[in-house]
Amino acid sequence: MANVTAQDVKVLRQRTGAGMMDCKNALVEADNDQEKAVEIIKKKGLAKAAKKAGAIAAEGLIHSYIHSGSRIGVLVEVNCQTDFVSRNDEFKSFVEEVGLQIASSSPTYVRPQDIPEADLAKQRELFEGQVEEDENKTGKKKPQAAVAKIIEGKIVKWFSEACLDHQELVTREDKATVGQIAEELTARLGEKIAVRRFVRFELGEGIDVVKKDLAADVAETIANA
């Protein structure tokens, strides 16, 4: 059984808002796996964040972030339940961090639940092709169960790249994700905190720029002179 430290309990308590002993017991039951412990607390109805999951969060802030050089811009909506919390310094700081995160890490979706079935199926098909290509190179056919496990692992890794809630905040050193910090704030401030939507603009994105060969262009000009 893994050793559960006071720091482990503190981290889980910050994420869920559950009591100290409840957090310790959940960590012991989960063999000190934080994610499993969070699920245990949620299932037992002990997490304040879990109790707020179904709450309607229609207040909050729309924040704009323009990166240095004005080549990247972000608009993001982060919701809470009351105007009072929207003026809270911790909440506003989180919103600013989220804007910077979107600018630097370029997520595509807020959370896995937002991914259209077609996009998920396309990504799964891509990973299946990668596994098949690897099998062809090595000449070794993997068992179906192993292939399924590999693909699921790739999907989870893709979530951490494509989904904002699963990305580790670039402003933090503890590797906390956007979703985890939102859960911590939900527990601490007593209101549901969640990123609703965002747009990210990058200068020139989507424009096909024709690159000319300067030497060939000069030669053509001279020939036509």
> What SS3 string covers the chain?
CCCCCHHHHHHHHHHHCCCHHHHHHHHHHCCCCHHHHHHHHHHCCCCHHHHCCCCCCCEEEEEEEECCCCCEEEEEEEEECCHHHHCCHHHHHHHHHHHHHHHHHCCCECCHHHCCHHHHHHHHHHHHHHHHHHHHHHCCCCCHHHHHHHHHHHHHHHHHHHEHHHCECCCCCCCCEHHHHHHHHHHHHCCCCEEEEEEEEECCCCCCCCCCCHHHHHHHHHHHC
Domain co-membership, 167 together with 106: yes
- Please give the residue range of the domain that contains residue 84: 56-113+163-225
Domain presence at residue 224: yes
Domain co-membership, 61 together with 93: yes
Domains in the chain: how many in total?
3
- pLDDT tens-digit profile of 129-179? 998 888 888 888 888 888 888 998 999 899 999 999 999 999 988 888 999
- pLDDT tens-digit profile of 90-125? 999 999 999 999 999 999 999 999 999 999 999 999
Domain presence at residue 16: yes
Residue 84: φ, ψ to 5° = -60, -50
Domain co-membership, 23 together with 66: no
Domain presence at residue 204: yes
Q: Which residues pair with 59 in a beta bridge?
A: 80
Domain co-membership, 171 together with 194: yes
Domain edge (last residue) among 144, 162, 180 = 162
Domain presence at residue 1: no
- pLDDT tens-digit profile of 41-54? 877 766 666 666 66
Domain presence at residue 196: yes
Domain co-membership, 82 together with 152: no
How high is the pLDDT of residue 44? 74
Domain co-membership, 188 together with 104: yes
Domain co-membership, 108 together with 167: yes
What is the value of pTM for the model shown? 0.70
**141 contacts 158 by C-beta, under 8 angstroms:** no
Domain co-membership, 182 together with 150: no
Domain presence at residue 191: yes
Give the CATH number, domain containing residue 24: 1.10.8.10
Question: Among all chains, which residue has been given the structure tokens 């639940």?
Answer: 113
